[in-house]
């Protein structure tokens, strides 16, 4: 693979989202949703969590669901951001990255692209572009959360900034297998909508199947590791070790991209 062509294809993904009318509409909808999230659950978290009236209630609720460690954060806005972002960004990425190569295949432009780049460069370039887009959106939302936090308590900025860097890394690594999963589905789906349908069937049908198999043979619980996001519940409560929170999603990403590359190399365009 040629690095220059790879970067060029990744850059084109950024252009498609931030410099086209359709892409800007998606970005606008995303920003409106996050403005509401910033205004209410995040901006109000500092007041609520510091209130003695609600402290006992939150302590009992968060402790019951394994999130008691988040109550120890002085940066309450980041604690709420972490919970919302950890579960919303993977779902958002499934929709955002649903059209990586399938649209070009449908329009017949994929053959033209293969005259200028290899199939592997197209596949990995599109994946890298989606990762860069997600990194940009995570950075924007984190910066906005930091601004809200600094407005409430400026002395927390330095500590919050250090924690934000860690949260950014964990969030970005967590969403990578979701993007890779859509790269894989794009190799044989006919439309972006069918790629999303495949993803829904994978998570729901696959989850039910593994649940039934585990019920018969508990050792098969290891099959849950094939599902991106398996570790999110433990990560939410800061209870996941490095292998689970970083090693697992990186391993899933590698396997999914390898499968996608093999299928894409042999598929008809």
pLDDT of residue 87: 94
User: CA-to-CA distance for 188 and 33, rounded, in angstroms?
Assistant: 32
Under a CB-based contact definition with an 8 Å cutoff, are residues 206 and 227 in contact? yes
Conformation bin of residue 164: beta by default, left when phi > 0, alpha when psi is -120 to 50: alpha
How far, in Å, are 9, 11, 35, 135 from residue 4 at the CA level? Answer: 9, 10, 36, 20
Spatial CA neighbour of 244 closest among 225, 257, 258, 259: 225
Q: Number of helices and strands (H, E) in the chain?
A: 13, 0
Walk along the chain (269 residues) and give the pLDDT tens digit of each residue: 788 888 899 998 888 888 888 888 888 999 999 999 998 888 887 777 666 666 666 667 666 666 778 878 888 899 999 999 999 999 999 999 998 988 888 888 888 888 888 999 999 999 999 999 999 999 999 999 999 999 988 999 999 999 999 999 999 999 999 999 999 999 999 899 999 999 999 999 999 999 999 998 888 889 999 999 999 999 998 888 989 999 999 999 999 999 999 999 988 77
Task: State the distance between the two ends of the chain, measured CA to CA, in whole angstroms.
Answer: 20
pLDDT of residue 53: 65
User: CA-to-CA distance for 1 and 203, rounded, in angstroms?
Assistant: 32
Spatial CA neighbour of 67 closest among 75, 51, 79: 79
pLDDT of residue 267: 84
Predicted structure pTM score: 0.93
Under a CB-based contact definition with an 8 Å cutoff, are residues 95 and 196 in contact? yes
pLDDT of residue 105: 84
- Number of independent structural domains in the chain: 1
CA 89 to chain centre: 4
Name residues whose C-beta falls within 8 Å of residue 179's C-beta, 6 or more positions apart in sequence: 93, 97, 127, 130, 131, 134, 253
The parent domain of residue 97 ranges over 3-266
CA angle 197, 228, 267 (to 5 degrees): 55
pLDDT of residue 69: 81
């Amino acid at each position: 693979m040629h690095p220059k062509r790879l970067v060029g294809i990744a850059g084109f993904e950024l252009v498609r989202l931030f410099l086209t009318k359709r892409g800007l509409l998606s970005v606008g909808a995303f920003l409106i949703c996050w403005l509401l999230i910033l205004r209410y659950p995040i901006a109000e978290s500092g007041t609520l969590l510091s209130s003695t009236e609600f402290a006992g209630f939150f302590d009992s609720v968060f402790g019951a669901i394994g999130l008691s460690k988040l109550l120890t954060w002085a940066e309450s806005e980041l604690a709420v951001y972490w919970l919302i972002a950890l579960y919303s960004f993977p779902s958002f990425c499934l929709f955002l990255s649903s059209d990586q190569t399938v649209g070009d295949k449908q329009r017949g432009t994929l053959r033209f692209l293969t005259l200028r780049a290899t199939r592997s460069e197209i596949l990995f370039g599109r994946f890298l572009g989606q990762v860069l887009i997600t990194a940009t959106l995570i950075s924007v939302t984190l910066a906005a959360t930091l601004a809200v936090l600094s407005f409430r308590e400026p002395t927390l900025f330095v500590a919050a900034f250090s924690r934000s860097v860690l949260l950014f890394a964990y969030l970005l690594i967590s969403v990578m297998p979701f993007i890779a999963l859509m790269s894989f589905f794009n190799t044989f789906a006919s439309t972006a909508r069918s790629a999303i349908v495949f993803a829904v069937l994978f998570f729901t049908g696959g989850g039910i199947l593994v649940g039934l198999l585990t019920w018969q043979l508990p050792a098969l619980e290891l099959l849950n590791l094939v599902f991106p996001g398996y570790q999110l519940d433990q990560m939410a409560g800061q209870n996941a070790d490095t292998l689970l929170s970083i090693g697992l999603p990186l391993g899933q990403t590698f396997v999914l991209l390898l499968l996608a590359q093999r299928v894409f190399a042999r598929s008809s365009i």
